[in-house]
Amino acid sequence: MPFLRALVRTVRMIRHTGGLAAGLPPDDEVLLDTPDERLAPALVAAGRGEYGPVAQVLADTREAGEWENRDRYVLRLAAFAAFRAEWFEAWQAASPHDPDLLLVKAQLAVGRAFGSPARAELLREVTPLILAAAEAEPGDPVPWRVALDHARGTNAPHTDFEELWAQAVRRSPHHYGCHVAALQYLSAAWYGSHAECFAFAERAAQDALPGS
């Protein structure tokens, strides 16, 4: 079952490499890995300071409910904005309440906070950004993946984690990014154990869609 294999690989990676910042792959991997045919031209345009193609790509994923692609694109775009911010700043000035902008903004802030020695304090300041992204598109699970990463970084108790997880799966029961964020929280490197990680992965695989 591919879903189980992917989750088990993630558990093993977490077990042997420790916590990854905010669930993100390393920055050089994000920037050098070849983007797909939709994201590539948007990144090229962003490199020129143009936000329009990025906004359109994310709007398309939101309208079509392509949550896996949306999550991957948001991670990539936030990492790009951390180094080339002109396009993001122009987008923010033009459309400050755009739900896609708000999501990238929340991811960018969480990623930056995880890279700081003052991680917990900075993450607490980010909370309103995550709430704004979640409220802007109530059916989107991706803000809740960001919230799960945020919970890990702020040492949130298990009760808070469980509430966030319930919100995430209510919107997309099989969203891979949310499962990875949950696995990281439950890992021994953070607030759980290897046994909890594997048990979680097995339960998720049992609930996965046939053929997934």
pLDDT digits (tens, 9 = 90+) for 120-144: 999 999 999 999 999 999 999 999 9
Which band of pLDDT confidence, cut at 50, 70 and 90, is reported for residue 21?
A: very low
Q: What percent of the chain has pLDDT over 70?
A: 81
Query: Which token pair is 40?
Result: 């590539």
Q: 75: phi > 0 → left, psi -120 to 50 → alpha, else beta; which?
A: alpha
What domains sit in the chain, N to C, each tagged with a CATH number? 2-207 (1.25.40)
Q: For 37-61, give one letter per residue: b (16+ CB within 10 A) or e.
A: eebeebbebbeeebbebbbebbeeb
Residue showing tokens 């896996």: 68
Q: Which of 81, 97, 79 is nearest to 89 (CA)?
A: 81
Q: Look at residue 100 and tell me whether its pLDDT is greater than 70.
A: yes
